[in-house]
């Protein structure tokens, strides 16, 4: 009986060590990132290369976000990269249902996740967010990524080239983390299309 207990304890310790190692093995890059933990809040959802955010069908203007994630060389497609996005509703608010948990209490429920395949491509179907009410902040879509071997980190938000709040001064403030987040909307078959390619490590602090 004692031998069985010792074995159980030993297995628990080994499992605990492995768990701790898994949490610390990622190379730390990108600096601080409040709320980036939300990238893991997809639960048991199977991550695909395409995701449709809540309220897409009933909300205008509809928006399709697509792009390719590249390795640091800017040419080689990057596989198995998780991308998390969230944004405001058409009133400029992070909409809640009232039963949110985790970071959804801050980000709201208009959010989604994808995971790139071998070609590095991804797509989100959503709608164009509104700017914060009574604040001179341009319309934007938050983006966080998690690539293999590195911790999660934020990249430049998607912002819209035709947004009057995106002034020259605001454009100069952009850090171009993983490339420019400024997109140019194009209307195709009743939906606004934007492209946001991502170059891993570009302008990311501590990236090897």
- pLDDT tens digits for the chain (208 residues)? 444 444 444 444 444 443 333 444 799 999 999 999 999 999 999 999 999 999 999 999 999 999 999 999 999 999 999 999 999 999 999 999 999 999 999 999 999 999 999 999 999 999 999 999 999 999 999 999 999 999 999 999 999 999 999 999 999 999 999 999 999 999 999 999 999 999 999 999 999 9
**What are the strands, taking DSSP E only, across 26-120?**
50-52, 62-70, 82-86, 111-115
- Does pTM top 0.85 for this prediction? yes
Domains defined for the chain, CATH in brackets: 43-199 (2.60.130.10)
pLDDT value of position 186: 98
SS3 38: helix
The β-bridge relationship of strands 186-188 and 182-183 is unpaired
Supply the pLDDT for residue 9.
Answer: 42
Show the beta-strand stretches assigned E in the chain: 50-52, 62-70, 82-86, 111-115, 121-127, 140-146, 153-160, 182-183, 186-188, 191-195, 198-199
Q: Other C-beta atoms within 10 Å of 120: how many?
A: 21
Question: In angstroms, rounded to a whole number, what is the distance separating the alpha carbons of residues 109 and 121?
Answer: 24
CA 68 to chain centre: 14
């Amino acid at each position: 009986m004692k031998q069985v207990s010792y074995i159980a304890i030993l297995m628990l310790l080994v499992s605990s060590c492995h768990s701790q190692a898994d949490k610390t093995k990622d190379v730390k890059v990108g600096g601080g990132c409040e709320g980036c933990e939300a990238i893991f809040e997809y639960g048991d959802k199977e991550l695909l290369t395409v995701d449709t955010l809540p309220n897409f069908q009933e909300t205008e203007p509809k928006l399709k976000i697509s792009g390719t994630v590249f390795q640091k060389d800017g040419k080689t497609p990057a596989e198995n990269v998780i991308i998390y996005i969230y944004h405001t509703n058409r009133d400029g608010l992070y909409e809640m249902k009232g039963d949110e948990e985790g970071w959804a209490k801050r980000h709201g429920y208009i959010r989604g996740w994808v995971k790139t395949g071998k070609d590095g491509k991804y797509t989100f179907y959503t709608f164009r967010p509104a700017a914060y009410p009574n604040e001179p902040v341009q319309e934007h879509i938050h983006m966080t990524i998690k690539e293999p071997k590195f911790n999660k980190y934020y990249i430049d938000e998607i912002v819209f080239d035709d947004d009057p709040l995106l002034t020259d001064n605001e454009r100069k403030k952009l850090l171009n983390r993983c490339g420019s987040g400024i997109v140019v909307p194009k209307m195709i078959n009743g939906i606004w299309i934007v492209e946001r390619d991502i170059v891993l490590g570009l302008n990311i602090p501590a990236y090897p």
